[in-house]
Structure 1
């Protein structure tokens, strides 16, 4: 692979927590060294890319992407998700096992791994189901699935309600050093709900769930983590009421991390006022006070990870009454410009954003990306944080285009994406 130099850039370094002028040199798919401001290509050969004062950062590591192979390829394939990820500056997608059938055995995992390798220009790290069929009754063969390449285990939004089954699975995962990813939501309280409880939901006549459903589920799981010593990641913390319990768990030394979705950081419960089903998510959008509290938790490091929670749904699933429509939104291509809303609002600085979007998920999963240091893989995104545009969902590369940002004024454009030093996306 030929050498490559990036010059005249603003380097976003989430590990050092800095933004500085300069460049970097890439050799053999890895970062070979950083270049001071004003220096050319570092005296080496190969192609030179003038970044023209734009920002260069580690590629995004997106934890919790749904690819609908096998079973629902018409919603999203590995080819379409790879193109969408590259266009969004996402260089690694960590895929969910909530497919048809679920990824709960080594044969299915090997199939999707092969499909990803054949069709996807970005890195793919697959998760596998924690219980067979995600039914919550019998745990999967965690050891065999790890040997086949699973980086974590999750039943996604199907909460394991049998405490004995979950405790056994956590004990087994602990013995193997496996990471368990869980959805903190009490299913008894949240079943059938489409909004967060309060005056607004009542006025709209929508079945709602209390924010305490998230807190209650988190409290139960923290007790099981304390009992088993398992490595645990909460996929979406979206309410202020859950944050004190999360802080206590970390302070007590439990091996716990937490994430949230970019949609819950940039939208709130009032956005469902017109019953637009593109705003129907799981968990439902929260009040503005919750959104601000969660953004502050990301900025402080209490919440470790921001994900797109990319969930494709076809037109037939969304063009239904609000209560009957499928939950979820695509997010790969809108991830970076949505994150720029937090930056421009002064809520989260760029290094902290990239710590949550790239460095922390890579570290938690044992992946090599997320760093701007010699020896790190040259998985990079070049972007302009200030470039304005109006999003047209018809231009998205995902097969499904169920985005809540359709028609929204946004800032932040991806100009180029590189995986191991090879360009996988170039803006027009």
Structure 2
């Protein structure tokens, strides 16, 4: 199969070029003659970028199919320009043994529209008590190990897990939250929670957990990855850890980069996520952390829920928002167009840098690399409308926002997996 994507702009070139895709790989780039090919895709005036890599998504299947499925979640990923996603293990059953992970792999093979790399749990049923068989689960394709939204609470158990992970050359990934400091909070403990008379989650519930784990990572030599960093204290601790050589990486979400507690209009659970929206000072620290390399990449923490679940207010609704279909246009509009970061920086944080966290061979637009590509229109304006989402989840605080930078075509291994309209000529 030969495909020419014609008259596109690349980050590395000033003039428009043609890109030849053959047998799933990027074959040639330049002022190419179209010649005899199977398809031609007209990308006139648009940017062709490497497919985005999201190392933190919730696809819900098996067990949570009412919220999302692998099919709907990966369709949403494709629409958002993501060609590789790493699926969290908070499913039922949990991928905590060989049979359960094989089942997840089978579902991915049948229903995935983009590349899905599954996480395995650190402990059986994510209960923080009995460790999984790290070696066998890694051999079956577990990209890394995490208990996701229920961070391992005892230092002894996390120490054992890191020792195993280090031995088998894999990574421990952590949602960092010290449960004894959460106090049934539902939003950030700051000014806004007091105005709304809602219980708060303190910043130190996150940073204390990170500090503990960084010392354990130093002791074991284990690569440790911090999910969805949200506080200035966490950024400072991770920066200090990197400075002394502790093997740590970290991610931040679009919503923590864009919103604060003061953007919460009232008791509306589309603004309820964990970690919660923090202060403006925290938000600025996250941006600074990205810019100086303390935070390695951006991940969506795509967390779909049913509409009736999210209609119950902060006290009774589940944590989480969707993000796959809105991430790039939101970040492009509010960071690149405002000259806070460059387009090249944003693309790196969504491609080669998340891939590097787990040494994945993706996120590059180069000859010989897999043709994981996204075509984006940086000029046309649109309004975020949850009714148009491919995801089953419509739970987003960004409904009605005006953005630019929408993907128009996504390709995985040389196959078009999503397109805005009939792009073939």
Same topology, TM > 0.5:
yes
Secondary structure of the residue aligned to 1:12 is coil
For 1:417 and 1:87, locate their aligned partners in 2 and report how far apart those are by CA, in whole Å.
7
The count of aligned residue pairs is 420
Q: Bigger shift: 403-412 or 151-160?
A: 403-412
Which string of whole-angstrom CA distances, capped at 9 and with x for unpartnered residues, describes residues 217-257 of structure 1?
Answer: 11111110111110111011111222221111111112110
Which string of whole-angstrom CA distances, capped at 9 and with x for unpartnered residues, describes residues 7-57 of structure 1?
Answer: 3222136xxxx877434222211112321xxx2347674533331121111
Identify the match of residue 365 of structure 1 among 343, 346, 358. Answer: 358
Is contact 2:289–2:295 with CA below 8 Å preserved after alignment? yes
For 2:135 and 2:37, locate their aligned partners in 1 and report how far apart those are by CA, in whole Å.
46
What are the equivalent positions in structure 2 for 1:204-353 lying under 5 Å apart? Answer: 204-340=196-332, 341-353=334-346
- Superposed displacement of residue 296, structure 1: 2.5
Q: Bigger shift: 74-83 or 194-203?
A: 194-203
Secondary structure of the residue aligned to 2:315 is coil
- Superposed displacement of residue 135, structure 1: 0.6
Q: Is the counterpart of residue 196 in structure 1 residue 188 in structure 2?
A: yes
Is contact 2:268–2:311 with CA below 8 Å preserved after alignment? no
- Superposed displacement of residue 365, structure 1: 1.9
- Determine the structure 1 residue equivalent to 2:126: 134
Structure 1: give runs of 5+ residues left out of the alignment: none
- Determine the structure 1 residue equivalent to 2:349: 356
For 2:84 and 2:262, locate their aligned partners in 1 and report how far apart those are by CA, in whole Å.
32
Is contact 1:41–1:48 with CA below 8 Å preserved after alignment? no
For 2:298 and 2:15, locate their aligned partners in 1 and report how far apart those are by CA, in whole Å.
23
Is contact 1:190–1:209 with CA below 8 Å preserved after alignment? yes
- Determine the structure 2 residue equivalent to 1:412: 405
- Superposed displacement of residue 308, structure 1: 0.9
For 2:37 and 2:316, locate their aligned partners in 1 and report how far apart those are by CA, in whole Å.
59
- Determine the structure 1 residue equivalent to 2:19: 24
What are the equivalent positions in structure 2 for 1:30-69 lying under 5 Å apart? Answer: 30-35=25-30, 39-41=31-33, 45-69=37-61
Is contact 1:268–1:291 with CA below 8 Å preserved after alignment? yes
What are the equivalent positions in structure 2 for 1:105-144 lying under 5 Å apart? Answer: 105-144=97-136
For 1:77 and 1:150, locate their aligned partners in 2 and report how far apart those are by CA, in whole Å.
19
- Determine the structure 1 residue equivalent to 2:91: 99
Secondary structure of the residue aligned to 2:68 is coil
- Determine the structure 2 residue equivalent to 1:425: 418
Is contact 2:232–2:285 with CA below 8 Å preserved after alignment? yes
For 1:41 and 1:204, locate their aligned partners in 2 and report how far apart those are by CA, in whole Å.
63
For 1:93 and 1:20, locate their aligned partners in 2 and report how far apart those are by CA, in whole Å.
31
Is contact 1:278–1:403 with CA below 8 Å preserved after alignment? yes
Secondary structure of the residue aligned to 1:265 is helix
Is contact 2:6–2:18 with CA below 8 Å preserved after alignment? yes
What are the equivalent positions in structure 2 for 1:369-388 lying under 5 Å apart? Answer: 369-388=362-381
Is contact 1:204–1:273 with CA below 8 Å preserved after alignment? no
Is contact 1:88–1:336 with CA below 8 Å preserved after alignment? yes
- Determine the structure 2 residue equivalent to 1:9: 8
Secondary structure of the residue aligned to 2:29 is strand
Q: Bigger shift: 266-275 or 327-336?
A: 266-275
Q: Is the counterpart of residue 181 in structure 1 residue 173 in structure 2?
A: yes
The TM-score normalised by the length of structure 2 is 0.95
Is contact 2:228–2:301 with CA below 8 Å preserved after alignment? no
- Superposed displacement of residue 190, structure 1: 2.0
Is contact 2:17–2:32 with CA below 8 Å preserved after alignment? no
For 2:385 and 2:349, locate their aligned partners in 1 and report how far apart those are by CA, in whole Å.
27
Is the alpha carbon distance of 1:118 and 1:201 closer, same or farther for their aligned partners in structure 2, counting shifts above 3 Å? same
Secondary structure of the residue aligned to 2:309 is helix
The TM-score normalised by the length of structure 1 is 0.94
For 1:76 and 1:337, locate their aligned partners in 2 and report how far apart those are by CA, in whole Å.
22
What are the equivalent positions in structure 2 for 1:139-158 lying under 5 Å apart? Answer: 139-158=131-150
Which string of whole-angstrom CA distances, capped at 9 and with x for unpartnered residues, describes residues 289-322 of structure 1?
Answer: 2212212321332211111101111123211131
